[in-house]
Amino acid sequence: MTIRLYLFVLAILPALTGTVTAQGPSSDAHHGHHMSSDDAGMVMNENRDALPRDCKEISEDVPFTIRAGREYARELPGEIFGMSQYEVRVPRCSRVAITFVNEDSVRHQWMVHGLPKYLYPAGMFHIEVSGGRQKTGTFIVPGGDQTYLIHCDLAQHMEKGMRGQLVVGEGSGELWGVQNISDDFNRAFYLPKNISLWALIVALVGFILTVLIIKSSHSSDRRQ
Q: Tell which one of 129, 152, 166, 168 touches Cu ion (CB under 5 A).
A: 152
Closest CA to 34 of 104, 138, 179: 138
- The pair phi, psi for residue 87, each rounded to 5°, is -125, 130
Q: Tell which one of 135, 157, 160, 163 touches Cu ion (CB under 5 A).
A: 157
Q: Does 66 bind Cu ion (CB under 5 A)?
A: no
> Shortest approach of Cu ion to residue 134 CB, angstroms?
14
Nearer to Cu ion, 73 or 96 (CB): 73
Strands 125-129 and 87-90: unpaired
Q: Does 154 bind Cu ion (CB under 5 A)?
A: yes
**Gap between the Cα atoms of 189 and 36, Å rounded:** 39
Are 83 and 72 a contacting pair, CB within 8 Å? Answer: yes
55: exposed, middle or buried (Cβ count in 10 Å: 0-12, 13-18, 19+): middle
Nearer to Cu ion, 42 or 93 (CB): 42
Q: Considering only 7-15, 91-99, 144-152, 204-212, which stretch makes contact with Cu ion by CB under 5 A?
A: 144-152
Region 76-115 residues binding Cu ion, contact defined as CB under 5 A:
108
Please report, as ranges, the residues that interact with Cu ion according to CB under 5 A. Answer: 108, 152, 154, 157, 162
